[in-house]
């Protein structure tokens, strides 16, 4: 067993520094953020859930093929096999990402999937992410055992904020507890994501068919009830935690 395989399975994530080192990658990242911010300026902010919180989802359109090729050119398929012991064509691939606006709010700790419906997430740094502009904070090793929220908040967790440079990739398990943190900088922070979901049989790799960039709701619906939930989430966090705590008591 390789060290990287053991680290991924023991800690729930692995960070690979400077996985992509290419001048054309830097150019693509610059254009990517320019296009994302252009789309953000164009949209009706009232129709996007999560805008008040400052944390939005993205669809990356035709950039999926561009960034996929950068990964493959750096033997990403061999890396995935080394970490998971599965071939890349055993997964369905979905590109997306996160736009963390300036002066955003902290997320609450959560997982991206249930313990039974696991998948793998690859975050690709298209720009630097430091302590000031909203790094991801991970609760190390919390993927190893199914833990309800009420139990998680009473356990002392070892956490780590993930600092990234352009070209780094973070590979993590979807059942790992984590949160996005506040962006205290003056600029929006962009983080690209690739999700790998195990498919039932081998097939050709198909990327997203949507060729347009889109800014999406993240966490909250854009309707009236979604806005109320968002306000409680960020302004009345103790009420949110209490409600979530009670709700988790009744889940297995």
Whole-number Cα distances in Å, 190 to 85, 136, 218: 30, 12, 14
Q: Is the pTM of this model over 0.85?
A: yes
Whole-number Cα distances in Å, 51 to 48, 96, 190: 6, 17, 15
State the Rg of the chain over Cα. 18
Domain around 79: 3-249
| Mean pLDDT, each 10-residue run in order, the chain (252 residues) | 87 97 95 97 92 95 96 96 93 95 96 94 98 97 95 93 98 97 97 92 64 91 92 94 93 68
User: What is the count of structural domains for the chain?
Assistant: 1
Which of 48-74 are b and which e, b meaning 16 or more Cβ less than 10 Å from the residue's Cβ? bbbbbbbbbbbbbbebbebbbebbeeb
The SS3 call for residue 18 is: coil
Q: Taking a C-beta distance cutoff of 8 angstroms, is the pair 48, 56 a contact?
A: yes
pLDDT for position 144: 94
CATH code assigned at 189: 2.60.120.620
pLDDT for position 211: 79
């Amino acid at each position: 067993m390789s060290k990287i395989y053991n680290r991924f399975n023991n800690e729930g994530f692995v960070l690979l520094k400077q996985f992509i080192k290419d001048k054309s990658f830097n150019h693509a990242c610059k254009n990517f953020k320019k296009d994302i911010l252009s789309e953000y300026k164009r949209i009706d902010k009232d129709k996007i859930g999560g805008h008040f919180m400052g944390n939005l989802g993205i669809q990356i359109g035709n950039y999926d093929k561009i960034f996929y090729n950068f990964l493959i050119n750096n033997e990403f398929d061999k890396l995935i096999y080394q970490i998971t012991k599965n071939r890349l064509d055993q997964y369905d691939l979905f590109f997306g990402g996160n736009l963390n606006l300036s002066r955003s709010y902290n997320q609450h700790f959560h997982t991206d999937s249930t313990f039974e419906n696991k998948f793998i997430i690859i975050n690709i740094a298209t720009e630097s992410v430091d302590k000031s502009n909203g790094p991801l904070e991970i609760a190390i090793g919390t993927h190893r055992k199914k833990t309800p929220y009420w139990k998680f908040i009473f356990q002392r967790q070892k956490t780590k904020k993930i600092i990234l440079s352009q070209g780094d990739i973070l590979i993590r398990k979807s059942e790992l507890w984590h949160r996005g943190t506040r962006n205290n900088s003056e600029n929006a922070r962009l983080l690209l994501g690739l999700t790998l979901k195990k498919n039932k049989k081998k097939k050709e790799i198909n990327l997203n068919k949507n060729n347009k960039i889109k800014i999406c709701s993240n966490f909250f619906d854009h309707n009236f009830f979604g806005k109320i939930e968002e306000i409680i989430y960020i302004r009345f966090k103790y009420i949110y935690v209490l409600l979530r705590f009670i709700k988790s008591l009744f889940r297995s």
